[in-house]
Structure 1
Amino acid sequence: MRVRDCSLVAALLIGLSGCAGPPGATPRPVAAAGQRPGLVAESVLSPAERRALDRALERSLRDRPGRAALAVYDRTTGARYAFRERTPFMLASVAKVDILLAFLLGKRDERLTRYERTLVSRMIRESDNDSAHELYMTIGGQDGLTRVLHRLGVRHTRPGSGLFWGLTHSRPSDQVKVLERLTDPGGPLPAGKRRYALRLMSSVTPSQVWGVSEAAAKGEVALKNGWLPAEAHHGLWTVNSVGRLRVSGHDLLLAVLTERSPDMETGVATVERLARVAVSTLTRSRTAVGA
């Protein structure tokens, strides 16, 4: 049995046109003049703070093979930061978060069937590829996902063609935007769908709890990881991790993408090292707006 092959792309676009949400949805906070909606205030990292974090991350990569980049958004302070993300990375199974967002938008005002819930749960909790294939085709594959992401302002992500969703290429800041659209109370998803997505990402198979979770210590984590020995890189590993962390009073959205590690363990270590540096720096030096 397959998910019914309805015109979900059209449904996605209709749902996106009503981003304010249905009656009773949590309203987006009113922003001050010149301020981005959704924030009480914007706390921008100073040039000195950015340079210090740049240097810390550069030091962390000195003995690491391959290439790495990250982006982080502290929703508590409003601070945003990106590192080495000019060239896109292959997402591998992190693309499943993009598929999840598009699918839930297509079902925005509908209840998911038991079969659909099974597919979505397997895709996120177990990183099941067959479930991802089916859901990718349901949302319209490459063209469908591209249209949805562009409507959401995620414009530097190129979904993979055909069934090759794992070959989607993106930047860390784009994946942070995907996490925003998936979890933001003022975003395009109703509260029930947001809670559902976070429950899935907070209960992945224990063997897949690594990556950005390493930076959370005793905090709360909702994440999705991706790993793949890439033919395009002669079998070297792509290892990625994205997620929402609640750490030391901060609500963080973080994406760390890497490629060309000699093995998965090396890639995981690189991801975790960068995540720890970025999160510890932001939570140590920044305080919540109004605190």
Structure 2
Amino acid sequence: MQPPTVEPGPTTSASQPPLQSAAQLPGTLKHSLDRSVTRLLARRPGRAAVAVYDRTAGTRYEFREQAPFMLASVAKVDILLGLMLKAQRAGRRLTAHERNVATRMIRVSDNAAAHELYAAIGGRTGLDRTLHRMGVRRTYPSDSWGTTMSRPSDQVLVLDWLTDVYGPVSAQNRRFVAALMSGVVRSQAWGVSAAAGAGSVALKNGWLPASAHGGLWTVNSIGRLVTGGHELLLAVLSERSPSMEAGVATVEGVAKVVVRTMIGLPR
């Protein structure tokens, strides 16, 4: 997968990314999409929620965000944001070691790498402080990063901070993020990529049989898509699927319905 490339949008203060001022979908389109996603999920086990920000159109959409979800390895993207901002506050670039560990954390979803970087940014307290500073206020880090709880719109905001050309992350670090998330190993490239069609995608997925749900599966996918002339930031979170495969099918089905509607393609 190649890193998505689009022309930068209008200048925006780092204290308020474009996402926070994006318009909701027009009422008729939102109601139609609500019905489509509701019908899809009625046929699927467990529960799921989705948020998407169409940078090209300046619109956003959220569905069933009332309760948070366990992030599993999607939390590694939040850790990556924390790592980059910590280094930038210190006025330095990531070290070669940090880049190597971050590469393993994102491209192959290495848990030991995530443990190391989570500790480096101050663990639960450090990540919580970073996220709150960035306006990501409905995400609740845990002592164990994988059980961090969040909502899709918060993860879209994390993606926005990581990729906004006028945001707080330096150009060099943004390029590094794009390279990592567009270079995940093939076996982990499912999820929101199902909605990209012939376009490009940079993503990170998370999956685990959650003991809190009796071993039922949490399956999540977040990413940046460029498809059909649109640039989109998308997060689909799900839980209580009977298998990983069932959870992947749910996530991919939701992603396809939402993206096709947002960019005006037949579903």
User: Fold match, TM over 0.5?
Assistant: yes
- Look up the match of 2:117: 135
Q: Which amino acid in the other structure matches residue 245 of structure 2?
A: E
State the secondary structure of the residue aligned to 1:107.
Answer: helix
- Look up the match of 2:108: 126
Q: Which amino acid in the other structure matches residue 104 of structure 2?
A: R
For 1:252 and 1:157, locate their aligned partners in 2 and report how far apart those are by CA, in whole Å. 21
For 1:265 and 1:30, locate their aligned partners in 2 and report how far apart those are by CA, in whole Å. 40
Q: Which amino acid in the other structure matches residue 180 of structure 1?
A: D
- Look up the match of 2:157: 177
Q: Deviation at 1:62?
A: 1.6
Q: Which amino acid in the other structure matches residue 76 of structure 1?
A: T
Instruction: Name stretches of at least 5 consecutive residues in structure 1 with no aligned partner.
Output: 1-25, 286-291
- Whether 1:85 aligns to 2:53 is no
For 2:17 and 2:192, locate their aligned partners in 1 and report how far apart those are by CA, in whole Å. 27
- Look up the match of 1:247: 227
TM-score with structure 1 setting the length: 0.84
1:159–1:76 distance in 2 versus 1, CA, 3 Å = same
Instruction: Name stretches of at least 5 consecutive residues in structure 2 with no aligned partner.
Output: 1-7
Bigger Rg, which one? 1
1:215–1:118 distance in 2 versus 1, CA, 3 Å = same
For 1:276 and 1:231, locate their aligned partners in 2 and report how far apart those are by CA, in whole Å. 29
* Identity, % of aligned positions: 60
Q: Deviation at 1:51?
A: 0.4
1:110–1:37 distance in 2 versus 1, CA, 3 Å = closer
- Look up the match of 2:196: 216
Q: Deviation at 1:112?
A: 2.0
Q: Deviation at 1:113?
A: 2.0
Q: What is the root-mean-square deviation of aligned Cα atoms in Å? A: 1.8
For 2:86 and 2:210, locate their aligned partners in 1 and report how far apart those are by CA, in whole Å. 31
Q: Deviation at 1:63?
A: 1.2
TM-score with structure 2 setting the length: 0.91
Runs of 4+ in 1 over 6 A off after TM superposition: none
Q: Residues 38 and 186 of structure 1 are in contact (CA less than 8 Å); yes or no, is this contact kept in structure 2? A: no
The number of aligned residues is 253
Higher relative contact order (CA 8 A, sep 6+): 2
- Look up the match of 2:206: 226
State the secondary structure of the residue aligned to 2:264.
Answer: helix
Q: Deviation at 1:196?
A: 0.6
Q: Which amino acid in the other structure matches residue 270 of structure 1?
A: T
Aligned counterpart for 2:132 among listed residues 150, 153, 156: 150
